[in-house]
Amino acid sequence: MQRLDSASQDFEARFEALIDHDTPAQAEIDSRVAAIIADVRERGDEAVVAYTRELDRHPATDMAALEIAPARLSAALDAMPAQPRAALETAADRIQRYAESQKITAQSYEDEYGNRLGQLVRPIERAGVYAPGGKAAYPSSVLMNALPARVAGVSQIIMVSPAPGGEVNDWVLAAAALAGVDRFFTIGGAQAVAALAYGTHSVPCVDKIVGPGNAYVAEAKRQVFGRVGIESVAGPSEVLIVADGSGDPEWAALDLFAQAEHGEDSRALLISPDRDFLTAVEAAVEHLIEDQPRHEIIRASLANHGALVAVADMAEAMALSNRIAPEHLELAVADPEALLDSIEHAGAIFMGHRTPEAFGDYCAGPNHVLPTGRTARFSSALGVYDFQKRLSIIQASPRGAAALAPVAAELAVGEGLYAHAASARVRGDEGQG
């Protein structure tokens, strides 16, 4: 891992390079994704099958072979051993209970003129859920994406998840059954996003696509936005640990590993004013890394994007944290509550030594689909509200019409929209009469 020190003359340049999320190959990804989307729009199922055979090495020859029947989802759940099933059900219950607490409700009020103003809340009709399935399978992502949609009242949940070589993960199937997924297609990549956005003979078009994926999935979501809604354009997973030196260096090392094992492009950083603690963490990384089954991925991730950063004090640590705007922020400190007011940007905050980011990934309750790549500066975790629409209600009383009409008419004339002004005035005249 890199060692940075804020007291060094080259710190600013090295820190900026560390938090830079530009992808050198982005132009190539953009054009490749655009071509796939255009092909799926034109050829539909035929294109989806062709890309799935080429890119995922799936043996399917038609879409029927790429859809998994609900009975198979239920069978996967029923076949789970008792202990794994109990863990999956506990996680689902906690995620659902948290989601229930997020529901937006209808509201209205009357102003001083008797006008009724407010909002209705309606779920989107059909949601597309993307669950990654490349270097690892993520049943937790199935729960995190599908359960809030179900709680919101979405009528139909369409799930897509790649099955490289035609192999489907039974945990993912079981999670889909538990979350109430309506249809499940073993397709992934930009072709899956295009199918959800535009529809094919077999895949229904959806109203919103949620869920993380690789760079091609992220770019495909960006390109179909507007045709459908998306929750975010997800980048590589990331964690920032802010430590005061009061914790266990081995715990910190394991937390860095937990993020790094997602992939070689994952980002795992630790900032502390305690230089001895940083050295101890560095030693713990070397001591523990070979015991990790995914140690090759972890080493590549830490070498490419990992860093231990020394700072003058905790105030500087929090200032750098806000510049990073991390997806996951661990406060590995004795008094995490004291730092909350200084946090401006983070996807999720993990408080204290006994709250690893892994709890949030699986079973704490709040969603693990979080803003990455510094987008926590303007976006938030996935939630029930991502599957709900707010419909404004405006009902003018006679007195209200008389009060609003001259205001609306004056503004309309100012914009050169005279029919607007006339439409408002006649309501005001009637209200006065």
Catalytic residue numbers read 327-328
Q: What is the dihedral of CA 298, 303, 346, 216, to 10 degrees?
A: -70
Q: How far apart are CA 235 and CA 213, in angstroms?
A: 8
Which residues contact residue 335 at a Cβ distance below 8 angstroms, ignoring those fewer than 6 apart? none
What does the alpha-carbon distance between residue 97 and residue 143 come to, in Å, rounded to a whole number?
12
Separation CA 184–CA 73 (nearest Å): 9
* Residue 126 and residue 196 in contact, taking contact as beta carbons nearer than 8 Å: no
Query: And the tokens for 173?
Result: 């199937």
Whether residue 128 contacts residue 411, with contact meaning beta carbons closer than 8 Å, is answered with: no
| Torsion on CA atoms 136, 141, 146, 149, rounded to nearest 10 | -150
Q: What share of the chain is helix, strand, coil (3-state, %, to 5)?
A: 50, 15, 35
| Cα–Cα distance, 159 to 140 (Å, whole number) | 14
End-to-end CA distance of the chain: 78
Residue type, position 2, single letter: Q
CA distances from 139 to 77, 177, 186 (A): 12, 11, 14
Cβ–Cβ < 8 Å for 219, 309: no
Q: Return all residues near 280 (Cβ < 8 A) that are at least 6 apart.
A: 249
Residue given tokens 């937006």 in the structure block: 104
Kindly report the three-state secondary structure assignment for every residue of 106-162.
Answer: CEEEECCCCCEEEEEEEECCEEEEECCCCCCCCHHHHHHHHHHHHHHCCCEEEEECC
Neighbouring CB atoms inside 10 A of 97's CB total 12
Distance separating alpha carbons of residues 363 and 324, to the nearest angstrom: 26
φ, ψ dihedrals at 165, nearest 5°: 70, 10
For residue 308, give the amino acid letter. Answer: L
Q: Which of 70, 65, 38 is nearest to 52 (CA)?
A: 65
